[in-house]
Amino acid sequence: MPYNSRPHIHIGPVCGACNRPVKRKQILVSTRHESFNTFEGKIYRVPPFQKDKLLKKTDSAVFCKQKDCKDCNRNPWRKSTYHADCFMLFNKFCLSEDKFCRLFMAAQRTSAVEGVEQLGELYDPVASQQLNIVLELLGLARLPLTVCREIWSLNPTSKHIVARFCTVLQLANELNSAPLVPSNCPLSEVRLFKRGQDIKVDKNMGAERPYVRVIEDSRGIKRIERVATQKKSKLKTENSTYIEERLFSLMTIDFRFGLCLLQGNDRAADFCANWGI
């Protein structure tokens, strides 16, 4: 197949399932999406790259690690990258017919605002609840839940296969039951959102709750709530941003599969572009 006609597949730096960095010698897969309602696309096994090389050509596709590649940006298809073992584990434990659409949305929504880099190494400690399932998969003995939490807290930024698999199983568990119907509503009307659940809307909150609090971790928005005051979070596994009414009145929330993304109109463009700075 001529070079110009081969699909150009961008290989991202982070696994879309476990949110840990991908390394050159790890086995990876990439998915190409042509539809978000049903999985219409293709799954590729990513060939190994030579050291310090950013491009790998095969008969079926061109795989690219360049950050701002014109060919990657020109390609109309959306792509996502995964550790092969994370992808297969998700495929086994997520039972939804549209599982790959849900996984792709999770891989894309790892920050509160599109185009902003995800928060590194702020992994949700709730994933420790999956530790015993992972231990059984690896042929190891189960542990009390309190011990699971303690093990997780010892190294919450671990990139070990056990930590990766815990995050993937937690993701599969949430996406299995995530709401199907997409929606878009003004951020000013959102009373409460918790990842994996429906949005709770209230159009009459008034001036007693003048702030929107957005809580993020490595998987993007974890929680959104209207609050009366600004309080610094004591948790080291998440980050909080407070938005005043003059800004949140210019923003909307796009909601799909229990995952959300903040969007702003032209007057909120600078705020969104500098999110987290």
Residue 120 located in a structural domain: no
Residue 172 located in a structural domain: yes
pLDDT digits (tens, 9 = 90+) for 143-182: 888 888 888 888 888 898 999 999 999 999 999 988 888 8
Q: Are residues 172 and 193 in the same domain?
A: no
Q: Are residues 172 and 187 in the same domain?
A: no
Q: Are residues 188 and 132 in the same domain?
A: no
Looking at residue 1, what is its pLDDT?
Answer: 45
Looking at residue 204, what is its pLDDT?
Answer: 85
Residue 43: count other Cβ atoms within 10 Å of its Cβ. Answer: 13
Residue 113 located in a structural domain: no
Looking at residue 36, what is its pLDDT?
Answer: 58
- Contact present, 227 and 216 (Cβ < 8 Å): no
| Strand ordering across the sheet containing 78-83 | 41-46, 28-33, 78-83
Q: Report how far residue 117's alpha carbon sits from residue 20's, in angstroms, rounded to the nearest whole number.
A: 13
Q: Are residues 61 and 97 in the same domain?
A: yes
Last residue in a domain, options 149, 176, 203: 176
Task: Report the number of distinct structural domains present in the chain.
Answer: 3
Q: Are residues 202 and 171 in the same domain?
A: no
30 lies in which domain range?
Answer: 3-108
The residues, ordered by sequence, that sit 6+ positions from 233 with a Cβ below 8 Å of its Cβ are: 215, 239, 240
Q: Report how far residue 17's alpha carbon sits from residue 203's, in angstroms, rounded to the nearest whole number.
A: 35
Looking at residue 258, what is its pLDDT?
Answer: 92
Looking at residue 18, what is its pLDDT?
Answer: 94
Closest C-alpha among 186, 204, 182 to residue 268: 186
Can you give the three-state secondary structure of 177-224, one letter per residue?
Answer: CCCCCCEEEEHHHEEEEECCCCCEECCCCHHHCCEEEEEEECCEEEEE
H-state helical runs in the chain? 70-74, 84-93, 99-108, 131-137, 145-154, 161-176, 245-248, 269-273
Q: Are residues 96 and 13 in the same domain?
A: yes
Residue 211: count other Cβ atoms within 10 Å of its Cβ. Answer: 18
Give one word for 189, left, alpha or beta, with left for phi > 0 and alpha for psi -120 to 50: alpha
Q: Are residues 72 and 131 in the same domain?
A: no
Q: Report how far residue 32's alpha carbon sits from residue 8's, in angstroms, rounded to the nearest whole number.
A: 10
Report DSSP state, residue 1: -
Helix (H) or strand (E) holding 96: none
Looking at residue 185, what is its pLDDT?
Answer: 92
Q: Are residues 59 and 14 in the same domain?
A: yes
Looking at residue 157, what is its pLDDT?
Answer: 83
Q: Report how far residue 34's alpha carbon sits from residue 78's, in angstroms, rounded to the nearest whole number.
A: 7
Residue 258 located in a structural domain: yes
Q: Are residues 236 and 171 in the same domain?
A: no
Q: Quote the longest CA-to-CA distance of the chain.
A: 63
Looking at residue 230, what is its pLDDT?
Answer: 92
Q: Per-residue pLDDT tens, the chain, 277 aa: give them.
A: 445 667 888 898 999 999 999 988 899 999 887 665 655 678 899 988 888 888 888 888 889 888 888 877 776 567 899 999 999 999 999 998 889 989 999 998 999 998 888 887 788 888 888 999 999 998 888 888 888 888 888 888 889 899 999 999 999 999 998 888 888 999 999 999 999 999 999 988 878 889 999 999 999 999 999 999 998 877 788 899 999 999 999 999 999 999 999 999 888 888 888 887 6
Residue 115 located in a structural domain: no
pLDDT digits (tens, 9 = 90+) for 32-69: 876 656 556 788 999 888 888 888 888 888 898 888 88
Q: Are residues 196 and 226 in the same domain?
A: yes
Q: Are residues 87 and 12 in the same domain?
A: yes
Residue 116 located in a structural domain: no
- Contact present, 122 and 221 (Cβ < 8 Å): no
Residue 59 located in a structural domain: yes
Residue 114 located in a structural domain: no
Last residue in a domain, options 49, 75, 108: 108
- Contact present, 178 and 196 (Cβ < 8 Å): yes
Last residue in a domain, options 53, 80, 108: 108
Q: Are residues 161 and 223 in the same domain?
A: no
Looking at residue 39, what is its pLDDT?
Answer: 59
The residues, ordered by sequence, that sit 6+ positions from 140 with a Cβ below 8 Å of its Cβ are: none
